[in-house]
Every structure is written in C-alpha cells, then in structure tokens.
Amino acid sequence: MRVSVVGGAGYVGGELVRLLLGHPGVTLAQVSSASHAGRPLFGVHPNLRGFTDRRFAAPGDLEPCDAVIVAHGGDGGGPPLAALRRLAPRLIDCGPRLRLRDPAVFRAIYGSEPEPADLLAEAVYGLPELTRSALAGATLVSGPGCSAVATTLALLPLARAAWPLAAPAVVEARFGSSAAGARPSASAHHPERAGAVRVFAAEGHRHGAEVAQALGWPLDRLSYAGVAVEMVRGIAVSVRCFLQEPVTEGQLWSAFRQAYDGEPFVRIVAQRQGLHRLPDPRWLAGTNLCDVGFALDPSGRRLTLLAALDNLGKGGAGAAVQALNCMEGMPETAGLTFPGLHPL
C-alpha cells in the first residue's frame, strides 16, 4: 500500500519515514513539509542519507494514496482533516485533535475548539493493547500521546483487576527533550535544558485526561505531573497507587501476565536484582517496545507502577505504524522488529 506522511520534517515525521522505508508492506508515497518543500529528506533527517533520494513535497502537491499519516505532534495542527480524507481512505492523526471524545474536556485541556463531534466519535484510539479489534478496518485513527501510552500501559493491569484505590494515583512522567518537538524554544535552548530536572506541569498534565478516558476512570482519580530531564529520546513514568485492600506480589504478576500475555510490544520488567531490573527508556530508543514493571511495599497497599518507552517510537511513529498494521490486517509487528541497542 502507498502511504504518505504529512508534516514529515519533525521528529515524529522523520521516525515515520524511517519505519515506513523498511516496512515490507508499504511504499512511501510522499512526505510533505510547508517549510522544506523541494529539499531532500536527508537534508533534515541525516540518518536517511543513502536510504532514500526523495524530496519533501509542498502540502498542496500531495496526491491520492492508500493512507495518510499526519505527523504533527505537540499542539497538533496540519491540514484540515476533511482535505486529508479526500486524499486517502485511511487517515491516522498523530496529534491531539482527535484524542478526547468529549468536546468540553478538549476545550478545558487544550483551550481551543475540537473537531466536529461526528469525527471525534468515529476516530478509533490507536493503542492496539486497548482497541485492537476496533482498529481492524478502521478508516480514522487518533494516535495516542506519548506519556499517555506509558501511563495507560502501566495502569492497565490494575484497572482490569478492579483493585479499588484509596486515593488518586500519583503520576510522574519524565520526558526527554525530543518530546517538545523539533522547533526551537526558550525551554529547549541548550543552556536552559542541559542538566535540568524541570517540573513543567506540576499538576494536571494534559495527558491525564487521555489516560482517564482510556481506562474509563474519572479524571480526579489521577494526579499527573510532567518533568523535563536531560535525555533526548524516551519517557519514564512512575505511578504511585494507594490501595484500599492489600495485594500480593503473586497477584501483581498474575494481573500483568493476564494483561500482556501475547502482546508483541509490551515486556514485563520487574526483577528483584540486577542493574536492569526495572524499566529504563535508554534501552528502548528506536523501538516500538514499552517496558512495564512494578514494586510493592511490605504492607501490600502501596504500589509503584513503572513504564518506559521511546516517545518517538511506541509513543509516536511506532504506535502509528502498529495501528496501520492492525487497520490493514498486516502482521502487527511488520516494520517494527528493531530490538534496540546496548550499550548506547
């Protein structure tokens, strides 16, 4: 199938191009950029030098194809969905404009007007671990937020086990700098970012609403903070949970195995000893993997859930390609089998 990437000059766009060039069931059709039209792709993404001689197309020069993936992240944006849907029968939007089904919640979180209600209702949330059956044959998909993927996958075993919480779950998501996008900003300026551990959302990070929606929880069941750390690719999430009734480590293992047995891209990393006994985003760079783990205090009532992933992989471009595979009935792992590097 022929797939085009809209907004291909950003970090997610470059990762999409890299993955699609190696996908056995996909031909990369066009890659658009309003600011780089006519330039070779490797002029912006130097890792692609020698792998493709394609050039960025102007957004107005996009031609019909089989699927379009919109790579604009952060605050979303890009061409109107109606125009893009005239180009292809299948559309995946990696930005936030389709993630929240409730227009009122979208306005409160993003401070702007949402897409029409019929599009919000039609869009399938692109996290196969939750929506695999709905993705099959879908024509409109919303790519999930990067830290929302990690947080949802950390919490999913607890949610499915229906263990009641005694207090809101406390989420701390630590972000690498690429999560802020490719455009320079004051907060991403090297003298400001280097060595920083900066809390940029002390409470109410926007991905909290997305996680609550995915789990079917009220928003006040989460207290969600975001922290910028000195790392380029990667997100590490820790979730402190306070349970009404104690659980055992055996129950935890059972819950995690029931949630993720057979899942190709979720690994349980919860060992008692060793340097790599808990999830670490460093070893996931370039992959579509999410590592999840846990730690339980002796009372059995205080539980820490952990998750790590590459924000440009399982948290962005990789998630979009995985969703595309599900939509088209292709092997879910197609184009996504890179295992990561060690050491890095």
Give the 3-state DSSP-derived string for 13-82, with helices as H, strands as E and coil as C.
HHHHHHHHHCCCCCEEEEEECCCCCCCEHHHCCHHHCCCCCCECECHHHCCCCCEEEECCCCCCCCCCHH
pLDDT value of residue 344: 83
- The lowest-confidence range among 32-41, 198-207, 260-269 is 198-207
Per the document, the length of the chain is: 344
Cα separation, 280 vs 235, in Å, equals 9
Q: Which CATH number fits domain 2-144+313-328: 3.20.20.100, 3.30.300.30, 2.30.110.10, 3.40.50.720?
A: 3.40.50.720
- For tokens 């109410």, the residue is 204
Q: What is the pLDDT of residues 59-107, one digit of tens each?
A: 999 999 999 999 986 555 578 999 999 999 999 999 999 999 999 999 9
Q: How far apart are the first and last CA of the chain?
A: 34
- The lowest-confidence range among 27-36, 38-47, 71-80, 219-228 is 71-80
- For tokens 């009734």, the residue is 245
How large is the average pLDDT for residues 195-203?
Answer: 90
Q: Where does the chain hold its CATH 3.30.360.10 domain(s)?
A: 146-309
**Catalytic site positions:** 146
Per-residue pLDDT band for 321 (boundaries 50, 70, 90) equals: very high
- For tokens 């996908």, the residue is 23
Per-residue pLDDT band for 193 (boundaries 50, 70, 90) equals: confident
pLDDT value of residue 143: 96
Predicted TM-score of the model (pTM) = 0.96
Q: Where does the chain hold its CATH 3.40.50.720 domain(s)?
A: 2-144+313-328
Q: What is the mean pLDDT of the chain?
A: 95
pLDDT value of residue 185: 87
Cα separation, 12 vs 45, in Å, equals 11
Per-residue pLDDT band for 148 (boundaries 50, 70, 90) equals: very high
Q: What is the pLDDT of residues 292-319, one digit of tens each?
A: 999 999 999 999 999 999 999 999 999 9
Domain 146-309 fold is Dihydrodipicolinate Reductase; domain 2 (3.30.360)
